[in-house]
Amino acid sequence: MTTYRLAVVAGDGIGPEVVAEGLKCLAAATEGTDITFETTEFDLGAKRWHATGETLTDADLEAIKGHDVILLGAIGDPTVPSGVLERGLLLKLRFELDQYVNLRPSRLYPGEVSPLSEPGDIDFVVVREGTEGPYVGNGGALRVDTPHEIATEVSVNTRHGVERVVRYAFSVATGRERKHVTLVHKHNVLVHAGHLWRRTVEAVAPEFPDVTWDYLHVDAATIKLVTAPASFDVIVTDNLFGDILTDEAAAISGGIGLAASGNVNPDKTGPSMFEPVHGSAPDIAGEGIADPSATVLSVGMMLDFLGHKELAQKVEDAVAADAAAKVAGGAEGNGPRSTSQVGDAIAARIRG
Ligand SMILES: NC(=O)C1=CN([C@@H]2O[C@H](COP(=O)(O)OP(=O)(O)OC[C@H]3O[C@@H](n4cnc5c(N)ncnc54)[C@H](O)[C@@H]3O)[C@@H](O)[C@H]2O)C=CC1
Ligand SMILES: CC(C)CC(=O)C(=O)O
Ligand SMILES: [Mg+2]
């Protein structure tokens, strides 16, 4: 019997709605196996902030550290000043738990829709740096609300931070069929950070002689994601560029409702955290119409991370089959389904 301690941070907006379906599918995947998950729910997010003014206390963090993995829904609410929860809770978790790899795969499942006329065989993964870049909170504002206001948001890139995520990206590539890494940055303008990234890739690449690599400026990368998405294998990039590119990647490969991610601490000095790429979607929160597929796929990534490859594949196959059935119409494809109907359908497929 293997028991994992799972911290659940459902969060805000559609977070609790999609996490409920993620847990439903986790239960389906582990049914009849000797694997169990003991879950602890952490009531963090807008409600807690309104009640106490707290985002993530030291005690919360310590309690979360006592878990093997984390499943997160989404953080952020229009009733809370922008950035308070995103920085004080979500990014704090990623930074404090040293989740320096933000792994975001993009696959266009057979039968799934893409708005592109020639999407081809989309199957790439973005390895986004998760603890540095412009998201570290290094900046400030002077003369606020005057005509002379100045605001800075400094991107911090350390050799240590860049090197470890670049090495991770190459190690991902070496296990894939095409074995190719594309560094995405903007080193023609951001010469300090960009050249650090380029020099680091040049230094790390020889450790992986079977992996080829090339470079794209981020603006050109946004074009190529639309015109030739099938040409990508592994993309490595910084925190901000990776954030933006992965929403675009979601849009071309089935939509934001299918985009999963893992915030991984490869050194295992703290728990890794799995969450959909999307946010709290306040525009549809409470309506029971959010697509839980991305959360279910994130549960699959969590199982894969824990070494349960077969269960992970089962979960991914179930989501892919559900997506295909939805597109094709048929019993499950008739009309819009509720969040829990999608969860039920995927769970049934997992059970087989
Ligand atoms: N990891 C996280 O917790 C993230 C949090 N956020 C936060 O979420 C809040 C809303 O941010 P937005 O920029 O609106 O991004 P968002 O990802 O929440 O929503 C963008 C659009 O996608 C739709 N959408 C998102 N997830 C969906 C799903 N599962 N099924 C169907 N439609 C879905 C929404 O309805 C909306 O139209 C903000 O507070 C933001 O800071 C944003 C991104 C990630
Ligand atoms: C609030 C952001 C830091 C989260 C986000 O947009 C993301 O990680 O994709
Ligand atoms: Mg984002």
Annotation-wise, does 287 bind a ligand? yes
Q: So what's the pLDDT on residue 325? A: 87
Model confidence pTM above 0.95? yes
pLDDT at 3 over 90: yes
pLDDT at 240 over 90: yes
CB 299 within 8 A of CB 19: no
Q: Give the environment of ion ligand 3: residues with CB less than 5 A.
A: 243
Q: Which residues contact 314 (CB under 8 A, 6 or more apart)?
A: 29, 350
Overall CATH class of domain 114-253: alpha beta
One-character DSSP codes across 23-76:
HHHHHHHHTTSSEEEEEEE---SHHHHHHHS-SS-HHHHHHHHTSSEEEEEE--
CB 119 within 8 A of CB 228: no
Q: What is the number of alpha carbons within 13 Å of residue 349 lying toward its C-beta?
A: 22
Atom of ligand 2 lying closest to residue 278 CA: 9
Question: Which candidate, 8, 6, 7, 10, places its Cα nearest to that of 280?
Answer: 10
pLDDT at 329 over 80: no
Establish whether residue 348 lines the binding site of ligand 1, counting it when its CB lies within 6 angstroms of any ligand atom: no
CA-proximal residue: ligand 1, atom 41 (nearest): 76
CB 284 within 8 A of CB 14: yes
Question: Which candidate, 2, 8, 36, places its Cα nearest to that of 271?
Answer: 8
Establish whether residue 250 lines the binding site of ligand 2, counting it when its CB lies within 6 angstroms of any ligand atom: no
CATH 3.40.718.10 fits 1-101+271-352, yes or no: yes
The reply to whether domains 1-101+271-352 and 114-253 share a CATH topology is yes
- What's the pLDDT tens digit per position in 55-75? 999 999 999 999 999 999 999
- What's the pLDDT tens digit per position in 189-239? 999 999 999 999 999 999 999 999 999 999 999 999 999 999 999 999 999
Q: Which tokens belong to 128?
A: 């986004």
Place of tokens 């030739």: 228
CA distance 63 to 57: 10
Cα 172 to ligand 1 centre (Å): 28
pLDDT at 334 over 80: no
What is the share, in percent, of the chain residues with pLDDT greater than 90?
93
Q: So what's the pLDDT on residue 336? A: 86
pLDDT at 335 over 90: no
ipTM value, please give it. 0.99
Question: Which candidate, 165, 316, 312, 170, places its Cα nearest to that of 233?
Answer: 170
CA distance 7 to 71: 6
Eight-state DSSP code of residue 95: H
Rounded to 10 deg, the angle between the 15-30 and 339-351 helix axes is 10
Q: Which residues carry out catalysis? A: 135, 186, 219, 243, 247
What are the boundaries of each domain within the chain? 1-101+271-352, 114-253
CB 211 within 8 A of CB 181: yes
Cα 113 to ligand 2 centre (Å): 24
CA distances from 9 to 45, 60, 126, 170, 274 (A): 9, 11, 24, 31, 10
Annotation-wise, does 199 bind a ligand? no
- Main-chain phi, psi angles of 157, to 5 degrees: -130, 115
Q: So what's the pLDDT on residue 253? A: 95
CA distances from 283 to 246, 261, 337 (A): 21, 22, 17
Mean pLDDT score across all residues of the chain: 96
What does the pLDDT average to over 1-25? 98
CA distance 123 to 75: 28
CA distance 294 to 316: 10
